[in-house]
Chain A
């Protein structure tokens, strides 16, 4: 057995010698391509970092192809391992491209979040500005410029007769008032209650105060600072219409909001 091994080794040596000749010829194009692919790859640290295993395999296959290329009669194997090496190189490159582009995708996703946030904020401001515009419209329609400043009248519909609780439908109007005060933090208000002339003067005074206070309470509950709101009941005083008709009396049952100027200065209360 040892002698046969010797013979084999002899035979292999002669093969290697033959291969020595073969190796001097031009290497097969597949091997040349695999070589240059691998060299480009190995020089690229990003590829190495993102696909080390595939780079290693590309190198191993190339090494095998190179070794086989020095043997005679192994052209098919050389071609095979050169092919594998090139494929590993291509896979490694693809992985590295994917890694880089995934990072890019992540950056873009962050950018999108940032932009969406900015857009939401911009829209909110837009809505607030729109709201401000609406409130100004509302005020210009509902208010009258008097010697007391800007006055907005909340009609009788806010309250049931002899009751001081705000009706459900009234809350929307008060909510608008709240929004206006929120958007105009410098302004303060005086909420004045009025009744018609039926009933006792003391009761009317108490009722008018309670109604004004009901409006103020809602605003305070919503978060307007109490010091921005003054409340006053006037009873049947200062009617806006004749108390002779029910229509006139309904007009006299009201709550008026007196707005300060933009510096928070309120006109003095009525005497």
Chain B
């Protein structure tokens, strides 16, 4: 009885490591998120992009060491880092457009004011 219980416990503990496959899909998803973030203009000035890059690298290394659970978690976090960087880049782009438009509107208003 006790032996059995011990065996189950040992199995369970082992399972913790063994049941995690290499997170191939997640690594690809993270990679894609990074590509997408860069594509919309996320740059090195964003801490989140750096975090995503470092996270993906760490995830790959963990996968190389067969620490699959760790690799998956790192990759998941890196994916969201990249998606946040993407969202921030989009917001920044839009904000720059707003600023440009505002100064254009100021110019237009000045020109209109100068009309007789």
Contacts and interface: CB of A to CB of B under 8 A. Distances in A.
Interface string B24-43: 00000000000000000000
Nearest to B74: A80
A129 interface: yes
Contact of A95 (B4, B87, B102, B104): B87
Given A80-B76, A80-B77, A101 B95 contact: yes
B9 interface: yes
Interface string A164-203: 0000000000000000000000000000000000000000
Q: How large is the interface on B (under 10, 10 to 19, 20 to 34, 35 or more residues)?
A: 20 to 34
Contact of A126 (B81, B97, B116): B116
A7 B8 CA distance: 8
B54 interface: no
Q: How large is the interface on A (under 10, 10 to 19, 20 to 34, 35 or more residues)?
A: 20 to 34
Interface string A5-19: 001100100000000
Contacts, number: 82
Interface of A: 3-4, 7-8, 11, 76, 80, 83-84, 87-88, 90-91, 94-95, 97-98, 101-102, 104-105, 108-109, 111-112, 115-116, 118-119, 122-123, 125-126, 129
Interface of B: 4-5, 8-9, 12, 73, 76-77, 80-81, 83-84, 87-88, 90-91, 94-95, 97-98, 101-102, 104-105, 108-109, 111-112, 115-116
